[in-house]
Chains A and B, each alone.
Chain A
Amino acid sequence: MDYVEVMQRLTAAAATVVSTPAQTMTPHDWVPASVECPCIYPSDARIDFDQTYGRGNDLIVATLQLLCSRADDREGQRMLNGYLRGSGAASVKAAIEADKTLAGACDSLHVAAMTGIRAYEIGKVWYVGAEWTVRIIGTGS
């Protein structure tokens, strides 16, 4: 399981959400210095190596941060609300878990939690967003 490949496919999967009104989600597999909303990227990650003997399995716990425009605070929150749902076309959880192996990049994953619904500052600009905790298991590399 390659961390970079997992992050690329994880954010790409999250970006397949269909919001109402429709807006294209921009995925990044790095922490961007500037953003175009809505966007999603990994803001934190932890790799627990050696979950089984002989480098058989690693565990990645990744935090994905999603940002929406706050130019109109109420509209920004309304857009975010769609992404927060546990199911549906706009659900980030459903989009990521549509293929729990990320096209073979991992063995399985679970979008375990969503937290941090608040304002985020990137550069000098404020956005509204949330964070998802994703647990990913796969063969140690």
Chain B
Amino acid sequence: MSCHAAQELDHHGAAATPVHRLDALAKLLATLLFVVTLVSFPKYAVAPLVPLAAFPVLLGVLGQVPARPLLRLLLTGLPFVLFAGAFNVVADAAPVRLTTDVSLRAGWFSFAAIVLKYLLAAGAVLVLVATTSFPRLLQALNRLRVPRPFTLLLQFLYRYLFVLVEETRAVGRAHALRDPHRRLPDLHTATILLGHLFLRTWERAERVYRGMCLRGYDGAVPVSRPGCLHGRDVLFMLAVAGGCLAARCLPLVGWLGALAVPGSGN
């Protein structure tokens, strides 16, 4: 289930690797710059996207991000992108000659570009989440002047998702104990159960919130130490910015290719 995959990546946010120790704001800004660079490539550019794969792949490996949940989550979003891009293959039939005998429809290029952009952008975001705990990410948002009420709601939504999951498991267990022969309740019972699940979760959430307020909660994101940018964070951001700029503006792939296949310049 992608829920377990998401939870596993979320837990990994508490690990201790060099990537985890980078400041959350630096990583967030780097990821945003990466995604903007990725999206700025024109419609048919496929090969120039490949050098950009270094960002998510290297960060993921250095951050020891577990590969299986990451791939599982990438796969969940893939069908929609495939559907959106498939039309390109059908509609765009202009031929592109690769060699004297082989030619492809242009639609394949734009389709491949869409799929590759999705994989790289989604991979970068998942690596960001897996190498940065959620509270630190929210604190980075606050430092970016994202309004406090919004990060407050994000905190509680995140917290109450787990409350909801626990209450749902309790209700499910109670139903299974009373009616072991059915896996799922019938529609009428399900509606009633859902309604009462909502009320129970709401009441528990209010108790949690009241408890927090009584203990002095004022809306600030609870982190052990405030984030600040160190030299290594600035170096990291400069490296990512330089890499993105180089990948976007320089024909790196063309140069390497000209080396590999001599005499095949434009």
Whether both chains belong to one complex is answered with no
Residues of B at the A interface (CB closer than 8 Å) are none
